[in-house]
């Protein structure tokens, strides 16, 4: 088993294809998006991720990784396509269905199919397994191998975590899980833990839901602390000194393409109302609106207020703006006719205009709102900032700046 097709060359598929191609496999990367395929074939990577371009160029130059829009016969098919959320908060499995529909035309006895896309429990068995059986008569676990192997990597550290994180593999039977393990062992230095399909699917969702629930708890603490006039950051710092307490950080909302989505997938096939998971989603979703209201309160007396938003991405030190809280806050402020400038040197693709310089973004501003804690913002000189702004207000949603320093330069300092 030396030939692998990786279907879907996004944030996970492309780095995975690169790792396999660097470790002895002949890999064909497939994407339906012609633009992505053309870009990759011209030697350019469409994803900003440390180390990725270098690894990609190595394996594409030595021919171990080819990129195309068309599938070919292969020993192994890895499906790594998006699973977006639809308007009813259910998983949209159409990309997985389309990928499986392609695989069915190329699969042979003895092949292995691995699903990597985060999916509601039973997707691998009921969507892929059933489809292949219906269209080819091949039975998963008997005629071919079928496994689910979720990715667990953090954007910004994808290559490092692909190699070093522990990995879970669920198989339709033990043999399928072992076959998949053989493939990942070529580059994974962490442990590879084997289980069944549904346990692996559910575990992936449980991990991201745990994070969402923990962040919702910290956001709720922040809102309650506000009523008591207590600094939530001090509370969390002190509470986390307890050996069995680890509260995450509040913030302007939970963005990205995983944490706000996966909790819904856990609930996808069950009819339970009033769950903790939904409540936590609601809390985290409410944060950008709460932050927007607070911003309006701070600038409400200003004529033609200008607000500067620091950070467009969904989290620190990356340029990825998918589901970023900044978008919601921008939209809310635009409705209130506020002049908004967004400054984020890391994010090139944002759906609203970005300021070209720190100076432009702050000139005449009435409020600087720190939404994303990029390391580069640590270099911002608050004294200089104070000379550019019309009114010296800082709203720090990430406990990022030094409050005493800001106050020393005449700022009124608001925290979450």
Judged by the rule CB under 6 A, the positions of this chain that interact with ligand SAJ are 118, 151-155, 207-208, 211, 215, 248-249, 251, 254-256, 258-259, 314-315
Q: How far is the CB of 258 from ligand SAJ (least distance, A)?
A: 3
Residue whose CB is less far from ligand SAJ, 111 or 208: 208
Residue 192 tokens read as 């590879």
| CB hemisphere CA count around 372 (13 angstroms) | 31
Residue whose CB is less far from ligand SAJ, 248 or 406: 248
Q: How far is the CB of 374 from ligand SAJ (least distance, A)?
A: 11
Q: How far is the CB of 257 from ligand SAJ (least distance, A)?
A: 7
For the CA atoms of 330, 334, 339, 340, what is the dihedral angle to 10 degrees?
10
Alpha carbons 15 and 27: distance in angstroms, whole number: 12
**E strand segments, 232-374:** 306-310, 339-343, 367-370
Q: How far is the CB of 161 from ligand SAJ (least distance, A)?
A: 7
Q: Which of 64, 181, 204, 327 is catalytic?
A: 204
Residue whose CB is less far from ligand SAJ, 247 or 380: 247
Residue whose CB is less far from ligand SAJ, 167 or 306: 167
* Run of H or E including 413: strand 412-415
Residue whose CB is less far from ligand SAJ, 121 or 256: 256
Q: How far is the CB of 350 from ligand SAJ (least distance, A)?
A: 15
Q: Active-site residue 102, yes or no?
A: no
Alpha carbons 21 and 140: distance in angstroms, whole number: 26
Q: How far is the CB of 15 from ligand SAJ (least distance, A)?
A: 12
Burial of 360 by CB count in 10 Å (0-12 exposed, 13-18 middle, 19+ buried)?
middle
H-assigned helices in 33-78 = 34-41, 52-61
Burial of 119 by CB count in 10 Å (0-12 exposed, 13-18 middle, 19+ buried)?
buried
Q: Active-site residue 258, yes or no?
A: yes
Q: How far is the CB of 137 from ligand SAJ (least distance, A)?
A: 34
Q: Do 147 and 168 contact (CB within 8 A), yes or no?
A: no
Q: Do 61 and 47 contact (CB within 8 A), yes or no?
A: no
Of 360, 364, 370, the C-alpha closest to 390 is 364
Q: How far is the CB of 271 from ligand SAJ (least distance, A)?
A: 25
Q: Which residues contact 332 (CB under 8 A, 6 or more apart)?
A: 288, 289, 292
Residue whose CB is less far from ligand SAJ, 32 or 206: 206
Residue whose CB is less far from ligand SAJ, 132 or 309: 309
Q: Which of 18, 149, 225, 258 is catalytic?
A: 258
Neighbours of 284 (CB within 10 A): 25
Alpha carbons 167 and 245: distance in angstroms, whole number: 25
CA distances from 203 to 119, 196, 206, 208, 320 (A): 11, 11, 5, 9, 25
Residues written for the chain:
416
Cross-strand bridge partners of residue 113: 77, 146
Residue whose CB is less far from ligand SAJ, 22 or 208: 208
Which residues carry out catalysis? 204, 258
């Amino acid at each position: 088993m030396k030939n692998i097709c990786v279907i879907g060359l996004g944030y996970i598929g492309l780095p995975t294809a690169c790792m396999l191609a660097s470790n002895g496999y002949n890999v064909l990367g497939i994407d339906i998006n012609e633009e992505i395929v053309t870009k990759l074939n011209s030697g350019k990577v469409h994803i900003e991720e440390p180390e990725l371009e270098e690894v990609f160029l190595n394996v594409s130059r030595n021919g171990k990784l080819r990129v195309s829009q068309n599938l070919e016969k292969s020993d192994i098919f890895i499906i790594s396509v998006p699973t977006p959320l639809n308007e009813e908060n259910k998983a949209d499995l159409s990309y997985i269905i389309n990928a499986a529909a392609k695989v069915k035309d190329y699969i042979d006895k003895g092949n292995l199919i691995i699903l990597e896309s985060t999916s509601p429990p039973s997707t691998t068995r009921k969507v892929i397994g059933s489809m292949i059986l219906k269209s080819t008569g091949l039975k998963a676990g008997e005629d071919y191998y079928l496994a689910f192997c979720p990715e667990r990597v953090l954007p910004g550290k994808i290559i490092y975590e692909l190699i070093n994180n522990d990995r879970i593999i669920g198989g339709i039977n033990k043999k399928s899980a072992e076959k998949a393990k053989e493939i990942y062992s070529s580059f994974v230095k962490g442990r590879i833990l084997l289980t069944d399909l549904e346990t692996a699917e559910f575990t992936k969702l449980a991990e991201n839901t745990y994070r969402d629930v923990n962040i919702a708890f910290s956001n709720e603490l922040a809102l309650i602390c506000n009523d008591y006039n207590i600094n939530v950051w001090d509370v969390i710092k002190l509470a986390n000194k307890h050996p069995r307490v680890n509260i995450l950080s509040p913030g302007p909302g939970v963005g990205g393409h995983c944490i706000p989505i996966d909790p819904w997938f856990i609930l996808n096939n069950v009819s339970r109302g009033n769950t903790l998971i939904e409540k936590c989603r609601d809390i985290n979703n409410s944060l950008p609106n709460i932050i927007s209201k607070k911003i309006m309160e701070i600038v409400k007396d200003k004529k033609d207020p200008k607000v500067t938003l620091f950070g467009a991405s969904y989290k620190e030190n990356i340029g990825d703006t998918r589901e970023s809280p900044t978008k919601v806050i921008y939209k809310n402020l635009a409705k209130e006719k506020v002049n908004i400038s967004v400054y984020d040197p890391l994010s090139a693709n944002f759906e609203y205009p970005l300021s070209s310089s720190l100076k432009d973004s702050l000139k005449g501003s009435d409020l600087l709102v720190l939404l994303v804690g990029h390391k580069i913002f640590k270099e911002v000189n608050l004294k200089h900032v104070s000379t550019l702004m019309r009114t010296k207000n800082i709203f720090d949603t990430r406990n990022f700046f030094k409050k005493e320093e800001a106050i020393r330069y005449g700022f009124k300092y608001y925290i979450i």
